[in-house]
Structure 1
Amino acid sequence: MRGRTAHLAWYRTDGTAVDVVFLHGFSDSAQCWDPVIAAMPGIRALSIDARGHGESGLPEEPIRYDGHRDDAALVLSELPHPVVVVGHSMGAMSAAYLAATRPELARAVVLEDPPPGGSGEQRDEPWSEPEWLAGLRALDLPARIAQGRAADPAWPDDELEPWAVSKAQVNPHLFDLTFQDAVPLTDLLAKITCPVLLIHGDTARGSLISEEYADQCAQAAAGTFRAAHIPNAGHSVRRDNRQQYLTELKTFLSTVS
């Protein structure tokens, strides 16, 4: 079931109820969660296209995590009860912002390799489109899939097409807007009282969260917190090691259901 709330496009597996909401990372889309959702039969899920991604619109305002949080809250406020929010990278930080400031909407959060955050300062200059994304956007879909396969040969086949499709859906006007840094993840965790699962991979393979920083997160967390280090995975933990990712996710969901 597809739908829209204001400028946001979303997809849900059940027309009557939602238990888990998925927020994707930069340059991905809601459909990039399809392989995970398909691997969890019976899950009542909703996935949201972030502003400027997938089929969502792009408001004329600075790119900031407060805005991503408000977007998620706009959709979640239409649901009858709080949900588990699962996010990856940008989506994980958005989930952390949401849980820290709108606790009535999230009863638990799963953070897949979020950025550690920084100064939280507003930048006056527009940001530049990454060269790797511009290069992908210049290719047709088969070529993007082929490049994804060459770059990450261990990814399951069903990950490649939604990943490749999402790159062409990124609104190029996104890079004309100014942006605001995220505040430190540890600051957000100090305000989150619901259960938190932090999933990260190996920094040597591109994970943004080291085991040392995960320990800092555990010390900062105000509520129940668990960090799960998944070996042989980088920034896209679920794509690099789906089996162990799903084991961690299913176990966590069973404890907060």
Structure 2
Amino acid sequence: MPQLDVDGATLTYDDEGPRDGVGAPLVFVHGWTADRHRWDHQLEHFSTGRRVIRLDLRGHGESGGAGSRTIEDLARDVLALLDHLEVDRCVLVGHSMGGMIAQTIALSHPGRVERLVLVNSIGRMTYSRGRGLLMAVSTLVPFKVFVAANIQRAFAPGYPREEIRAFVRASATTPREVVMTCYSAMRAFDVLDRAAEIRVPVLLVHGYHDVQLPVRQMLRLAKACPDATVRIIDAGHELPVEKPAELTAALDAFLTPKQ
């Protein structure tokens, strides 16, 4: 289990698959209160023929360190890891907050990104009345209640309740300071007006039932990107765990050269 010390954090990561495999390395970035194991299905599938890298963001999973005040801070962590692993150019895949990090890297270091995949992610945080109310009371309720309220609504109707409870418990182990600072970082995220600067092919994969970051918000980003492909899957906000095989198939199709 390799680790890298970066600016007060210890990042735990996986680096698997052949270095001389087909195509640029795949780099997977998870979302808020999650960890690198969100990408287990993709790691198993792609690492047989391609280099695959994934990490636990600072304060998440098995990585130490305090939370970040901005998405740009988290993007710098990912870039530091890529520098350490001598990865000059990659296919960057981000889920939710990880997609915000991926967009930030694509905009600040366009030469590092060959293709961009955004899973349940958007270019600008916009809040419904209910979401705004949840934000307003978030500091007034017990921490575990706040986490549970966010995680429970992330899954599509009908997803097994016991599995949802397991994800709630796992998310609640993320330190409060990390949870809240990253939450604030997402609230401040807005690159929608710069999306036209992303000149590489972009795949946007989204859950039809996503109420955290609704499909209509993703479509605003897709419309702004010059070279965007959209795939809607019958799932909620947690596509990597709700429909991992369908997500992998969408990635495979995006990465396979058209004949």
Smaller-chain TM-score range?
A: 0.7 to 0.9
Deviations 1:69-104 (Å, cap 9, x if unpaired)? 111111112324300011111101110111111112
Question: Normalised by the size of structure 1, how large is the TM-score?
Answer: 0.74
- 2:230 is matched with which residue: 205, 227, 231? 227
The match for 1:94 is: 101
Task: Map Cα deviations across residues 141-188 of structure 1 (whole Å, 9 max, x no partner).
Answer: xxxxxxx9x973299x9x998x57853541233256483434335224
Structure 2 equivalent of residue 25 of structure 1: 31
CA RMSD of aligned residues (A): 3.5
CA distance in 1, matches of 2:74, 2:159: 28
Structure 2 residue 171 is the aligned partner of structure 1 residue 167:
yes
Query: Which amino acid in the other structure matches residue 213 of structure 2?
Result: L
Q: Distance in 1 between matches of 2:220 and 2:168?
A: 35
Distance 2:148 2:217 in 1: 31
Q: Which runs of 5 or more structure 2 residues have no equivalent in the other structure?
A: 127-135
Partners of 2:100 and 2:189 within 8 A in 1: no
Which residue in the other structure is 1:58 paired with?
A: 65
Please point out which of 106, 109, 115 is paired with 2:116. 109
> After superposition, what is the alpha-carbon deviation per residue over 1:194-248, rounded to whole angstroms, capped at 9, x for unaligned?
1110111114x536232x44443233114x2111111x21101232223322221
Provide the residue aligned with 1:68 in structure 2. Answer: 74
Report if the CA contact (8 A) 1:185-1:217 is conserved.
Answer: no
Percent identity of the aligned residues? 24
Name the SS of the counterpart of 2:54 in structure 1. Answer: strand
| Matching of residues 137-216 of structure 1 within 5 Å | 152-153=159-160, 163=167, 166-167=170-171, 169-175=173-179, 177=181, 179-180=184-185, 181-203=187-209, 205-206=210-211, 208-210=213-215, 212-216=216-220
Contact 2:18 2:50 in 1 (8 A): no
Work out the number of aligned pairs and report it.
230
| Distance in 2 separating the partners of 1:110 and 1:166 | 25
The normalised TM-score by structure 2 is 0.74
What displacement does 1:5 show?
Answer: 4.0
Structure 1: gaps of 5 or more residues: 120-124, 137-147
Instruction: Report the counterpart of residue 140 of structure 1 in structure 2.
Output: none
Q: Which amino acid aligns with 1:52?
A: G
Q: Does residue 3 of structure 1 match 2:6?
A: no
